[in-house]
C-alpha cells in the first residue's frame, strides 16, 4: 500500500513530459572531452524533461558504506520504475545537431549534420569536431528536434578552450578528482568541490575513475537500465552541469564505474549479478566523451603533456600469484607508455592513473581476499613485480620531469618512492564523507597525508625558459592545504 501511495505521489513530481512531436531537452547539459589543439568531442543526451527529478523515490536505509549483503536485499517496490527514482532523467528519442563558433552569439557558426538518438544508445550522441583553431575558446549549443524535424529547440550556449600547439608555451591550470560517490554529495546541488574548482577557471579536469558506483550504492546496478540511471543522476546534478558548461574533461574508469569493487574482466558478478564485466563496461564510453582506445596522451603546449592509463581492461586476476607474467596494465599498454614518454619533449610529463603506483596503500590491503577484494594495485604485493618494473622505469627516466597523479584512494597524499624517487599525488575523494579513517603516516613515503575530501590542482607557471608546475591540494571549499612546486630536472 505504501509503495502504491509513493508511486502516486512520484508520478506528479518534476516537469511534464514532452509529447511525441515536441522537441526533446538536454537536462544533463553537455560534456566536452579529448580536447587537443585541433579537435574535441562533444557529448549530449536527449531527455524528456528539462531538469532531473528532485524528490523522487530513495530506497529506505540508503547510506554510504552499505555491506554487500544489505545492498543485495534492496530492490524497487512494485510499481516504482526507474523514472520515479530520485535524480531520474528519462530519455527521449529525437534528432540533434551541434552549432559552434568562436563568439558567444554564435555568429557565422558551423553546424553539424542532424543525427538520430534513440534508446539503442540511451539517447546519447557524441559529436567529433575537427579542424579547430589552437588555444581558442569555442562556444557551442545543441539543437534538438523530434523525429519529424520540427519544432527545433536550442540548448544553452556553453564553451571550451582548445589546447595550444605542442611548440607553443602557455600557462595553464588543471584539476583532478576521484571517488565521486552519489550518497556522499555535500550540497543539495551536488558537490562543493565543483564550485571550488570552477573558481580556478581550469583549462581541463581529469576525472581519474569511480565517476559513479554501480555496486555500492542504492539501487545496485543489476540491470543495464539501472546502471545508466547512475550516470543520469550524477551528471544531471547542477554543480556538474554548471562546471562542465565551461570546462572540458578527460575521463578514466576504475572498478566501480566499470563493474565491481577491485574487479577484472573475468571475475564473476557478485553485487551486480547477473550483469558481467563485458555487459557493464561499454556504458562508460556510451555516457562520456571518450575515444576508442582507453589509454591515450594529450599535449598542452610546450609545457605539459598528460598520459591517461587504463587499469581494468588488461589486468590479470587479482588473486593470481605474482610474477613476471602477472600484469595490471598489459604489455601493449606498457610498450605504448614507454614509446610515447620517450618521444615527448614536454617540459613536464604527468601520468594520470586510476590506481596508485607509489602509495603506500592502507595497511592490511596487500593481498586479495574473496569476496571482499584488496590486493588491487601496483603498491600491493599482489602486483609487486610489475609495480617494481614501472617505478624503476619512471624513476630513472631522463629528463626527470615525470610525475604521477592517481585516483582510487579515499585520502589525499603526496609520496616519494624511497627506491626510485618517483613522485605521486593522490587527489583524494571529491567529498569529505567518502574519506577513510586515519592511519599512521609512513615517513619513508609520505610528505603530506590528509584524510578528507577535496581535489588536486596543477598550474603551469613561470616562463618558457624557467617553467614550474605547482601541485596544490585543496579541501572541498577550495582552500589550499598543501603545495609542492616542481622544476624541470636533467
Q: Are residues 130 and 259 in the same domain?
A: no
Q: Which residues pair with 446 in a beta bridge?
A: 415
From the list 411, 32, 341, the residue with the least C-alpha distance to 202 is 32
The domain of 305 spans: 172-486
Q: What is the DSSP string of 95-157?
A: EEEEEEESSTT-TT-EEPPPEEE-GGGTTEEEEEE-SPPTT-EEEEEEEEE-TT--S-EE---
Angle (CA) 404 411 239, round 5°: 90
Angle (CA) 116 106 160, round 5°: 80
Q: Which of 129, 161, 193 is the last residue of a domain?
A: 161
Pairing of strands 455-462, 446-450: unpaired
Q: Are residues 97 and 230 in the same domain?
A: no
The number of distinct structural domains making up the chain is 2
Q: Are residues 295 and 413 in the same domain?
A: yes
Please report whether residue 166 resides in a domain.
Answer: no
Cα 296 to Cα 308: distance, rounded to the nearest angstrom: 5
Tell me the Cα Rg of the chain.
Answer: 22
Q: What is the pLDDT of residue 12?
A: 41
Q: What is the pLDDT of residue 379?
A: 98
Please report whether residue 362 resides in a domain.
Answer: yes
Q: What is the pLDDT of residue 65?
A: 80
Instruction: Report the CATH number at residue 42.
Output: 2.60.40.380
Cα 159 to Cα 141: distance, rounded to the nearest angstrom: 9
What is the H or E stretch that residue 252 is in? none
Q: Are residues 257 and 332 in the same domain?
A: yes
DSSP state of 96: E
Q: Which of 161, 191, 211 is the last residue of a domain?
A: 161
Instruction: Report the CATH number at residue 322.
Output: 3.60.21.70
Cα 258 to Cα 276: distance, rounded to the nearest angstrom: 10
DSSP state of 484: E
Q: Are residues 148 and 275 in the same domain?
A: no
What is the grid cell recorded at 1?
500500500
Q: Are residues 45 and 186 in the same domain?
A: no
Per-10-residue mean pLDDT of the chain, 490 residues long, equals 38 50 96 98 98 94 83 87 97 98 98 98 98 98 96 98 98 98 96 98 98 94 97 98 98 98 95 96 98 97 98 97 97 98 98 98 89 91 97 96 98 98 98 97 98 98 98 98 93
Cα 410 to Cα 428: distance, rounded to the nearest angstrom: 5
DSSP state of 48: S
Q: Cell 566499470 maps to which residue?
A: 258
Cα 146 to Cα 151: distance, rounded to the nearest angstrom: 7
Q: Indicate whether this model's pTM tops 0.85.
A: yes
Q: What is the pLDDT of residue 237?
A: 98
CB 241 within 8 Å of CB 57: no
Q: Cell 575515444 maps to which residue?
A: 291
What is the grid cell recorded at 482?
598543501
Q: Are residues 131 and 191 in the same domain?
A: no
Cα 474 to Cα 175: distance, rounded to the nearest angstrom: 10
What is the grid cell recorded at 416?
616519494
Q: Which of 102, 130, 161 is the last residue of a domain?
A: 161
HSE value, Cβ hemisphere, 13 Å, CA-based, for 307: 24
Cα 350 to Cα 305: distance, rounded to the nearest angstrom: 6
3-state secondary structure of 181: coil
Amino acid at each position: 500500500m505504501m509503495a502504491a501511495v509513493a508511486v502516486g505521489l512520484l508520478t506528479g513530481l518534476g516537469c511534464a513530459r514532452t509529447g511525441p512531436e515536441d522537441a526533446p531537452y538536454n537536462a544533463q547539459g553537455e560534456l566536452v572531452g579529448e580536447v587537443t589543439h585541433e579537435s574535441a568531442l562533444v557529448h549530449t543526451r536527449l531527455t524528456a524533461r528539462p531538469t532531473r527529478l528532485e524528490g523522487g523515490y530513495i530506497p529506505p536505509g540508503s547510506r554510504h558504506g552499505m555491506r554487500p549483503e544489505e545492498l543485495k536485499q534492496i530492490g524497487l517496490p512494485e510499481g516504482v520504475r526507474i523514472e520515479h527514482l530520485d535524480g531520474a532523467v528519462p530519455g527521449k528519442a529525437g534528432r540533434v545537431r551541434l552549432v559552434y563558433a568562436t563568439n558567444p552569439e554564435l555568429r557565422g557558426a558551423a553546424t553539424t549534420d542532424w543525427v538520430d538518438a534513440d534508446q539503442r544508445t540511451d539517447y546519447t550522441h557524441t559529436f567529433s569536431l575537427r579542424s579547430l583553431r589552437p588555444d581558442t575558446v569555442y562556444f557551442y549549443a545543441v539543437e534538438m528536434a523530434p523525429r519529424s524535424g520540427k519544432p527545433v529547440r536550442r540548448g544553452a550556449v556553453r564553451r571550451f578552450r582548445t589546447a595550444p600547439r605542442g611548440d607553443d608555451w602557455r600557462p595553464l591550470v588543471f584539476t583532478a578528482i576521484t571517488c565521486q560517490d552519489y550518497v556522499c554529495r555535500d550540497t543539495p546541488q551536488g558537490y562543493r568541490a565543483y564550485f571550488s574548482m570552477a573558481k580556478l577557471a581550469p583549462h581541463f579536469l581529469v576525472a581519474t575513475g569511480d565517476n559513479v558506483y554501480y555496486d555500492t550504492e542504492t539501487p545496485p546496478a543489476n540491470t543495464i537500465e539501472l546502471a545508466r540511471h547512475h550516470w543520469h543522476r550524477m551528471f544531471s546534478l547542477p554543480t556538474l552541469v554548471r562546471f562542465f558548461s565551461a570546462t572540458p574533461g578527460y575521463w578514466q574508469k576504475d572498478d566501480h564505474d566499470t563493474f565491481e569493487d577491485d574487479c577484472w574482466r573475468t571475475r564473476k558478478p557478485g553485487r551486480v549479478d547477473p550483469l558481467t564485466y563485458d555487459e557493464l563496461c561499454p556504458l562508460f564510453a556510451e555516457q562520456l566523451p571518450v575515444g576508442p582506445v582507453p589509454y591515450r596522451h594529450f599535449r598542452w603546449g610546450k609545457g605539459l603533456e598528460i598520459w591517461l592509463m587504463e587499469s581494468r581492461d588488461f589486468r590479470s586476476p587479482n588473486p593470481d600469484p605474482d610474477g613476471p607474467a602477472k600484469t595490471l596494465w598489459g604489455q601493449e599498454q606498457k610498450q605504448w607508455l614507454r614509446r610515447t614518454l620517450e618521444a615527448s619533449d614536454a617540459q613536464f610529463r604527468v601520468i594520470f592513473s586510476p590506481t596508485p603506483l607509489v602509495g603506500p596503500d592502507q595497511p592490511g590491503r596487500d593481498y586479495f581476499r574473496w569476496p571482499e577484494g584488496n590486493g588491487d594495485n601496483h603498491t600491493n604485493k599482489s602486483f609487486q613485480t610489475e609495480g617494481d618494473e614501472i617505478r624503476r622505469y619512471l624513476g630513472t627516466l631522463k629528463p626527470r620531469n615525470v610525475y604521477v597523479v592517481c585516483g582510487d584512494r579515499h585520502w589525499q597524499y603526496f609520496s616519494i618512492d624511497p627506491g626510485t624517487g618517483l613522485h605521486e599525488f593522490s587527489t583524494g575523494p571529491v567529498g569529505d564523507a567518502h574519506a577513510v579513517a586515519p592511519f599512521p603516516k609512513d615517513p619513508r613515503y609520505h610528505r603530506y597525508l590528509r584524510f578528507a575530501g577535496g581535489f588536486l590542482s596543477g598550474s603551469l607557471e613561470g616562463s618558457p625558459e624557467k617553467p614550474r608546475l605547482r601541485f596544490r591540494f585543496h579541501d572541498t571549499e577550495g582552500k589550499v592545504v598543501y603545495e609542492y612546486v616542481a622544476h624541470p630536472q636533467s
